[in-house]
A and B are shown apart, each in its own frame.
Chain A
Amino acid sequence: MDLTVLLVKGIIILVIFGITLLIATYSTYAERKVAAFLQDRLGPNRAGPWGLLQPIADAGKMFFKEDFIPSQASKWLFILGPCLAMLTALMSSAVIPFGDSIRFDNYSIPVQGIEINIGVLYIFGVVSLGVYGIMVGGWASNNKFSLLGAIRAASQNISYEIALGLSMIAILMMTGSLSVRAIVDQQASFFEWNIFTQPLGFVIFLTCAFAECNRTPFDLPECETELVGGYHTEYSSMKLGFYLFAEYINMFVSSAFVSALYFGGFHYPFMNEVGSALERSMGAITGHNIATAIGFVVFFGKIFFFIFFFMWVRWTLPRFRYDQLMNLGWKTLIPLSILNVVITGAGLLYNFKYATWAIVIVMVLMVIVSGARAPKREAIPQQV
């Protein structure tokens, strides 16, 4: 690898890093705006035009607050907690392919932090490491509420990671590769997007992604009514800011991951036609780079949709109770994802990609039958 390639690669990594931070920053603004609109309000609109400077004002406020460390806390672990959370959140976007490739001279450089053939495994490892940030922070606070929140977070993440992994195994079986780019490339044509071949897997994956990000309806670790502030009860100033920021980065990364795994990543319908038309009219190199840019924009459109979806769900669903959460994870999602793996495998034996639709059809039929056989709701006359 010579110097120019290294330089371009470095620029790509810096840009991805910057974009990740920028999107996380403006997710806080978007969250408040979306929440407001869903509740018939207007949201922040005083700081700058349409309130666009609000995140900067919030960050400024965070910096000027007292940075407090409880006297009984384990000081270094207390500081390490938010750092770990932030570090793992930032690391995971490295393997996500944000675009096809940039061509110049004779080089072709993929728009991706690093292309490794175990990308999915890497993300899993980093996400599992993310639990440590919460656990260490909650334990080091020397506060029972923090510890309870941290334990909840840890057990929730571990439970849902299993279903998350199993739902993804079906995709890995179809692709035969752990590289995220290979998975994206395999979804080149519209009807081969994994959302169409793995509908059940998608629902399971999305649910588990919500749980992994500790977002509503699975935000039990920071459940205010029971646990004060959850694992970050004792945190203040920018350490608290790091925890909150890490949550938004995680949201961005999981949106990107869902788009890459199930919605074709940077692919869009008629992509090859557009690409070849651009290459014919503007020359092979410029045309290819512009086609890459379009794919990049399309991918971010998908990511923004999923970030919006995260917020949309947050202001729609109430929080699960803890036993409901565990029942859903262990008794529903894991058996379903195992069934999904088995059916996908059977389909692959006969070279039929859409086999998992069988589960969906059977489930719909069962729903109709059980709905028809259920006793009618009796109208009890109201007591006067």
Chain B
Amino acid sequence: MQLTNRSKQVSNKEMTLAEKMYLPAIVGGLAITISHFFRKKPTIQYPEVKKYLGPIYRGHHILKRDEQGRERCTACGLCAVACPAEAISMVAAERKKGEENLYREEKYAAVYEINMLRCIFCGLCEEACPKQAVYLRHDLMVPVFQERDEVIYGKDRLVENMNDRYIRVANSEVQATPTEPSLTRAAT
């Protein structure tokens, strides 16, 4: 089966004098390597320059609110069940009177924690969620942590901020806005 037309037939015929002298082949090889010397390098200088990773990148988790700013999560626990790394844990609570503008349904997650050391960013929680409450952002990564007590993310760091809502856009209009937006340069 011929896959490309670039394959070369091997032959064991006797070498000509030019081939035995090595020199023409050496000059040819040197020409090839020096042409690479002046070629544009594909390296992206990572911490300073970040590449747009696409609209389906799985980054930082977010607990969505609905249009009226109510939390969508009902603490059903399906994400925790789906999680292969057992990174998610939650405590459910019943909605009191007067909290209707805070939580969408009668049950809500009083505590919702993700252990970022355990999380493998597979996105199964996002798939399992029946209320479209948990998402993995495509535009933000979980920052590097130095201490172990920074590792467990609670609701304070997961619930969406209404002034800066997360929208997943499929076009390249939204460029990656990782930790330091000023240093970002899209290299798509």
Chain A positions within 8 Å of B, measured between CB atoms, are: 34, 37-42, 203, 312-313, 315-317, 363, 366-367, 370-371, 374-375, 377-380, 382, 384
Contact residues in B for A34 (Cβ distance below 8 Å): 37
**From A39, A203, A374, A384, contact of B16 by CB (8 A):** A374
Q: In the complex, are the beta carbons of B43 and A42 less than 8 A apart?
A: yes
For the complex with contacts A34-B37, A38-B33, 7 further pairs of A-B residues with Cβ separation under 8 Å are A40-B36, A42-B41, A312-B33, A312-B34, A370-B16, A375-B13, A384-B1
Q: In the complex, are the beta carbons of A380 and B9 less than 8 A apart?
A: yes
Q: In the complex, are the beta carbons of B30 and A316 less than 8 A apart?
A: yes
Contact residues in A for B45 (Cβ distance below 8 Å): 42
Known contacts A41-B41, A203-B23, A379 near B9 by CB under 8 Å: yes
Rounded to whole angstroms, the CA-CA distance of A316 and B27 in the bound complex is 10
Q: In the complex, are the beta carbons of A370 and B9 less than 8 A apart?
A: no
Rounded to whole angstroms, the CA-CA distance of A127 and B180 in the bound complex is 56
Rounded to whole angstroms, the CA-CA distance of A363 and B41 in the bound complex is 40
Q: In the complex, are the beta carbons of B36 and A38 less than 8 A apart?
A: yes
What is the chain A residue whose CB lies nearest that of B15? A374
Q: Does B171 contact A (CB under 8 A)?
A: no
Q: Does B39 contact A (CB under 8 A)?
A: yes
Min Cβ gap A21→B in Å is 27
User: What total of A-B pairs shows CB separation below 8 Å?
Assistant: 59
Q: In the complex, are the beta carbons of A38 and B37 less than 8 A apart?
A: yes
Min Cβ gap A96→B in Å is 26
Q: Of residues A315, A316, A375, A377, which shows the largest number of chain B Cβ atoms within 10 Å of its Cβ?
A: A316
Q: In the complex, are the beta carbons of A37 and B9 less than 8 A apart?
A: no
Known contacts A312-B30, A378-B11, A382-B2, A371 near B18 by CB under 8 Å: yes
What is the chain A residue whose CB lies nearest that of B23? A203
Contact residues in B for A378 (Cβ distance below 8 Å): 11
Q: In the complex, are the beta carbons of B29 and A371 less than 8 A apart?
A: no
Contact residues in B for A363 (Cβ distance below 8 Å): 21
Min Cβ gap B44→A in Å is 10
Could you say which interface size class chain B belongs to? 20 to 34
Rounded to whole angstroms, the CA-CA distance of A367 and B18 in the bound complex is 5
Q: Does B17 contact A (CB under 8 A)?
A: yes
Interface members, chain B 54-103 (any A CB < 8 Å): none
Q: In the complex, are the beta carbons of A370 and B17 less than 8 A apart?
A: yes
What is the chain B residue whose CB lies nearest that of A34? B37
Q: List 29 A-B contacts (CB under 8 A).
A: A34-B37, A37-B37, A38-B33, A38-B34, A38-B36, A40-B36, A41-B41, A42-B43, A312-B30, A312-B33, A312-B34, A313-B26, A313-B30, A316-B30, A316-B32, A317-B29, A366-B17, A367-B16, A367-B17, A367-B18, A367-B21, A370-B16, A371-B17, A371-B18, A377-B9, A380-B9, A380-B11, A382-B2, A382-B7
Rounded to whole angstroms, the CA-CA distance of A37 and B43 in the bound complex is 11
Q: In the complex, are the beta carbons of B26 and A317 less than 8 A apart?
A: yes
Min Cβ gap A364→B in Å is 9
Contact residues in A for B143 (Cβ distance below 8 Å): none
Q: Does B181 contact A (CB under 8 A)?
A: no
Contact residues in A for B17 (Cβ distance below 8 Å): 366-367, 370-371
Q: Which 5 residue pairs are nearest across A and B when measured between Cβ atoms? A: A370-B17, A374-B16, A367-B18, A316-B29, A316-B33
Contact residues in B for A366 (Cβ distance below 8 Å): 17
**From A41, A315, A316, A377, contact of B11 by CB (8 A):** A377
Q: In the complex, are the beta carbons of B21 and A39 less than 8 A apart?
A: no
Known contacts A41-B41, A42-B41, A379-B9, A316 near B18 by CB under 8 Å: no
**From B2, B23, B34, B42, contact of A40 by CB (8 A):** B42
Rounded to whole angstroms, the CA-CA distance of A315 and B26 in the bound complex is 12
Q: Of residues B2, B30, B33, which shows the largest number of chain A Cβ atoms within 10 Å of its Cβ?
A: B33
Rounded to whole angstroms, the CA-CA distance of A203 and B18 in the bound complex is 15
Contact residues in A for B41 (Cβ distance below 8 Å): 37, 40-42
